[in-house]
Amino acid sequence: MEPELFSEWRLFEKVALEQLRNFGIKEISKFRLLEVMKLPSFYYESIKRWALCEDMVLRFDWLCQNDYKKFNNITQRAKYLKEISPTIRYKAIKVEENYSQSIMEELLKLRIPIILNNNIIGRDGVSYEIEFGGFLYDIKLRWWEDVPYEWKEIQCFTRRIIRDFDNMLKDEEYADLPDYSGKLWLKPVTNTVITEEMVNFLKQFSGFKKVDVTRIYELLRLQKRLFLEPNYSHKDFTNIKIEFDRLGLDIEFI
């Protein structure tokens, strides 16, 4: 990857992983009980997340190997829009609630020490994450490749439920990730004439609604990123970006 694209890729990677980890399960099913992630090094295959809800099993795939190619060089990058959306898809299947409960009962029987005597380091290979808990507590464990001896039980459990979930989902069709929300930011305004039309346009966003015209002019000259809107739809972002471009403004969706 060319150096001038590396920083853009790293930001894109951060956004993609946040979307993969934080997509609102409540929009699809009931309360989330358990999540597992598999993260290969160097993007040679997709990064996967499995989720067990009270009545559903889901799998999310970020096709990072495909997105990574879009940043290979300047010529390749120019083929795509300035704001690239991560290629994330998912599949889901309904399950009986007693199945979900049996998985959690099995997990409760495992003994997982918190402190380990482990000095393993490495760069290549596959990392795993497992997370479970409720509103008042939450536990996340992460390990690289083979776990220390003390965590062998959780490793075996994790690998088995990945196989079980994939077997359950193998005949299900993938769907594109539903529309999701993020925060909308205005990047620093540089070499752009601040006009009355621009100011009136920005006043529609919650970050500027209670600010008078004089203050808006002052904020735009601060040369720092400015908050526009919380919980903004990505679909709306792609549509309204045309208006920002027309006014010489650059926005960010995170």
Q: What is the pLDDT of residues 166-197, one digit of tens each?
A: 999 999 988 876 666 778 888 887 777 778 88
Q: How far apart are CA 123 and CA 212, in angstroms?
A: 52
Same domain, 105 and 14: yes
pTM of the model: 0.68
Tell me if 21 sits within 8 A of 37, measured CB to CB.
yes
Q: Which of 194, 195, 212 is nearest to 203 (CA)?
A: 212
Same domain, 212 and 141: no
Q: Which amino acid is at 35?
A: E
Same domain, 191 and 237: yes
Same domain, 21 and 142: yes
Q: What mean pLDDT comes out for the span 225-237?
A: 81
Same domain, 244 and 167: no
pLDDT, mean over the chain: 83
- For residue 243, give the CATH number of its domain: 3.30.70
Same domain, 172 and 185: no
Domain coverage including residue 202: 181-253
The radius of gyration of the chain from alpha carbons, rounded to an integer in Å, stands at: 22
Same domain, 74 and 97: yes
Exposed, middle or buried: residue 98 (CB in 10 Å: 0-12, 13-18, 19+)?
Answer: exposed
Tell me if 148 sits within 8 A of 118, measured CB to CB.
yes
Same domain, 46 and 169: yes
Same domain, 61 and 116: yes
Q: In total, how many domains does the chain have?
A: 2
pLDDT of residue 60: 92
